[in-house]
Structure 1
Amino acid sequence: MSGTTQAQAGLSTPAAVPIEDTSRTGFYADMTTPERRTFWACAAGWALDGMDFMIYPLVIGTIIKLWNVDAGTAGLAGTVTLLASALGGWGAGYLADRIGRVRTLQFTILWFSFFSLLCAFVQDFNQLLICRALLGLGFGGEWAAGAVLMGETIRAQYRGRAVGSVQSGWAVGWGLAVLAQAALFSLLPAEQAWRWMFALGALPALLVFYLRAYVEEPAVAAEARARAAAAGDRPALWEIFSGPILRTTVLASLVATGCQGGYYAITFWVPRFLTTERKLSIVSSTGYLAALIAGSFAGYLAGAWFADRYGRRTLFLVFSLGAIAVILVYTQVALSNELLWVLGFPLGFFASGYFSGMGAFLTELYPTRLRGSGQGFCYNFGRGVGALFPFLVGALSQTTTLANAICLFAVGAYILFFAAAYALPETRGRVLHADA
């Protein structure tokens, strides 16, 4: 990357390290004890985060019937959760720059676990809407703090594969939510089963005990905060919108908007698509969701390797094109249910795998003193705008098929993702420093 481009991006010019071992799993054997502890703590956090978020899309059909709400209103709860997560992520990112990554992560996990549990006791849709909004603040903050923690703890040559492999925990959590749905809706009446689903969302709180005992603050972050305190230099909340860093913030926010808008348009409504337009029962749709989740898990792992082998930017370009192609076939071609089941794997693969590069990419775009704020804002700005997609897809499905609504918003989002990623520099191998 040229000096001009680096200046525009708001970055110094640290030397990139060569990626010597590019195997898919070789990075793990060479990890230090702090790196491994952080790896597993964040992997568990992502898994429980994914389980918690996916509970609502899985019970949305029951909520619609139980409280007689339309699809657009039901989708609003998903939108509100994600909008709140945008604020929570930005705030948590800023807090992580001020008080530390690990402390912020602990607080956000306790926050969204509590409000997930509270969702199990609501008595009407308005109460559920409020609880999901409050849950979203912690949900967004957990990603912001955890992604920065991982990005700074893992060495440059392994960062893409390690952070990307941790991202695969989301698919594990999604799978746990689907298994819980199949079990609970088989054993209990639907009127009770959905409440137990939300109660399971309190499980992440247990992770805090591990974080307190074993996970250390990244040295580069601690050093940067110590230097800032000694110099009386406290980064301002709005500093990521000033000077040469502004361009980075705008483009990275558009990347995050496109990738998350497409993802939420697909994953939020596919369970409903299967049970309505494809006429599958909740239990029988589990196999179709399993194919989607398996593809998602494989995509995360493949994307993690791809990000270190070929670069973060190249990962985004290739997978966004793949996602566009598969979603067009999945929603617009008349397929038998058997073929639809098979196509679930590549849909999950391309619609999820690019997330493996996002954490490392955003970490590498910003200087250490602003990394939490920048990464937290960009990713969660995208989450906030992407939050509109569940509502808009639901609203549009009132005038066209749900398949058409999913396709329109998903394809549009992936086009934006491709264009914004193309305009940003490659960051693979960038070494992080306390003063840069």
Structure 2
Amino acid sequence: MSTTPPPPAAPAGLQPDKGEQPDDSGAFGWLRALGPRGRRAFAGAFGGYALDSYDYFTLPLSMVALSAYFGLNSGQTGLFTTVTLVVSAVGGAVAGVVADRIGRVKALMITVVTYAVFTVACGFAPNYETLLVFRALQGLGFGGEWAVGAILVAEYATAKNRGRTLGAIQSSWAVGWGLAAIVYTVVFQFLDDDLAWRVMFWTGALPALLVIYVRRNVHDAPEAAAERRKSAYKGSFTAIFKPGLLRVTCFAVLLSTGVQGGYYTLATWVPTYLKTERGLTVVNTGGYLIFLISGAFIGYLTGGYLTDKLGRKRNITLFAFLSAASILAYTNIPEGANGLLLVLGFPLGFCMSAIFSGFGSFLSELYPTAVRGTGQGFTYNTGRAVGAVFPTMVGFLADSWGVGGALIFGALGYGLAVIALFGLPETRGRELL
């Protein structure tokens, strides 16, 4: 008997009650198609990822204040992001295994509690070293939440609408980012910087409320859960490296590395770039970020639609090129043209987010049910860890090149992503089992 996991072949999403087929036409047909339980799962995953984003961005938005408080150089501040993303690889891989072994919902709650607790702990850090440790531990939960939540919803979604459904989940990242930017603007406007950065981290306790909702209302997709429980190789790291899946795993890691290397370079350093090199105030920085984030939100939704229309690989290729071009344009705006900086913030946010919209569906469709959590958790988060080298490189290069010049390094990641697609199959229309 073959030890290689069988390829996905049959639907796993929960059909609506009593076998009814809902009308999936119209702008929100994809949401109706999920059915009542699927929509509750969507709400839980959307909220979890939004708050995951909020907790993540408490650090980049507080970076200037932190640097001044602890007397850090650019390399040390870049290390915050690197340790978060590297440890998130461990957290994501472990969460994927846990999701395959005990279920998606239980794993989701564990990840949310983990990132919330350690985000709050960061606000109590007495020194740089302690903050670095707490931030690393926050990465354990941060790494696992998206993979688990995306799989939970993917197993409810239909093949026809999976791209836009997961794109909508991905858009919650922009919601959390926007909320963090608003809170940052308020907190830093009214509090001294030495206290404001701590308050930012303390507000990371918000996800505790979400756990109560998930515990009471969200359940795994029944057919997928049944398929997972009966498998002998569920949650197995060795299974995703067997001949049938080895190629997929390697190229999916490379794809994740490229896209996330480019993205986290921008997410980490754009606030610092705006404040230090463009001379913007706290209020103006927050305003520019809202414009960037608005583009990101629309980009997630648009990318989700296009990944169903164009296919997973074409969508990623399109926005890889556009993202690289946007970085080059954004970082070469002449001094004094801050109005143009504002205008270009929208397409920058749009492109660097639209590329992510296909990830939830693409990675879910590459793996069979029994190792879907393991495969998606490992590839996405290993890519995140390797991609974490990019923000650190920018930090060290910023001292000689300037932050704006060093940000161009992030464009290289998108080229790497395009190369990785040559080793992966197109999965649009694939049913999940």
Normalised TM-score (structure 2): 0.93
Note if 1:82 corresponds to 2:85: yes
Structure 1 residues 327, 234: CA separation in 2 closer, same or farther (over 3 Å shift)? closer
Q: Partner amino acid for 2:195?
A: Q
Q: Partner amino acid for 2:97?
A: Y
Provide the secondary structure at the position in 2 that maps to 1:279: coil
Tell me what 2:18 maps to: none
* CA-CA distance at 1:21 after TM superposition: 5.9
User: What do the CA deviations read for 1:381-426 (whole angstroms, capped 9, x no partner)?
Assistant: 1110111222111011112121111112x11100011111243221
Q: Partner amino acid for 2:119?
A: S
* CA-CA distance at 1:15 after TM superposition: 9.0
- Separation of aligned partners in 2, 1:134 and 1:115: 6
- Separation of aligned partners in 2, 1:402 and 1:10: 48
Tell me what 2:136 maps to: 133
Structure 1 residues 14, 35: CA separation in 2 closer, same or farther (over 3 Å shift)? closer
* CA-CA distance at 1:193 after TM superposition: 0.9
* CA-CA distance at 1:13 after TM superposition: 5.3
Q: Partner amino acid for 2:362?
A: F
Q: Partner amino acid for 1:173?
A: G
Contact 2:254/2:417 (8 A) holds in 1: yes
User: What do the CA deviations read for 1:344-371 (whole angstroms, capped 9, x no partner)?
Assistant: 0000000111111101100000011111
Contact 1:16/1:430 (8 A) holds in 2: no
* CA-CA distance at 1:14 after TM superposition: 5.4
Contact 1:23/1:305 (8 A) holds in 2: no
Note if 1:43 corresponds to 2:43: no
Contact 1:313/1:422 (8 A) holds in 2: no
Note if 1:182 corresponds to 2:190: no
Tell me what 1:330 maps to: 330
Matched-pair identity in %? 45
Structure 1 residues 234, 321: CA separation in 2 closer, same or farther (over 3 Å shift)? closer
- Separation of aligned partners in 1, 2:99 and 2:329: 42
User: What do the CA deviations read for 1:108-128 (whole angstroms, capped 9, x no partner)?
Assistant: 111111111111111111110
Provide the secondary structure at the position in 2 that maps to 1:28: helix
* CA-CA distance at 1:237 after TM superposition: 2.2
Matches within 5 A, 1:307-346: 307-334=307-334, 336-346=337-347
Structure 1 residues 174, 393: CA separation in 2 closer, same or farther (over 3 Å shift)? same
Tell me what 2:107 maps to: 104
Matches within 5 A, 1:363-402: 363-402=364-403
Structure 1 residues 332, 233: CA separation in 2 closer, same or farther (over 3 Å shift)? closer
* CA-CA distance at 1:316 after TM superposition: 0.1
Q: Partner amino acid for 2:374?
A: S
Note if 1:412 corresponds to 2:412: yes
Structure 1 residues 32, 255: CA separation in 2 closer, same or farther (over 3 Å shift)? same
Which ranges of structure 2 fall in alignment gaps of 5 or more residues? 14-22
Matches within 5 A, 1:196-235: 196-228=199-231, 232-235=232-235
Tell me what 1:11 maps to: 7
Tell me what 2:19 maps to: none
- Separation of aligned partners in 2, 1:28 and 1:417: 30
How many residues get paired? 420
- Separation of aligned partners in 1, 2:386 and 2:295: 25
Contact 1:22/1:308 (8 A) holds in 2: no
- Separation of aligned partners in 2, 1:178 and 1:419: 34
- Separation of aligned partners in 2, 1:15 and 1:44: 26
CA RMSD after TM alignment: 1.9
* CA-CA distance at 1:46 after TM superposition: 1.2
- Separation of aligned partners in 1, 2:71 and 2:298: 38
User: What do the CA deviations read for 1:101-154 (whole angstroms, capped 9, x no partner)?
Assistant: 110111111111111111111111111000001110011011121111111122
- Separation of aligned partners in 2, 1:295 and 1:116: 27
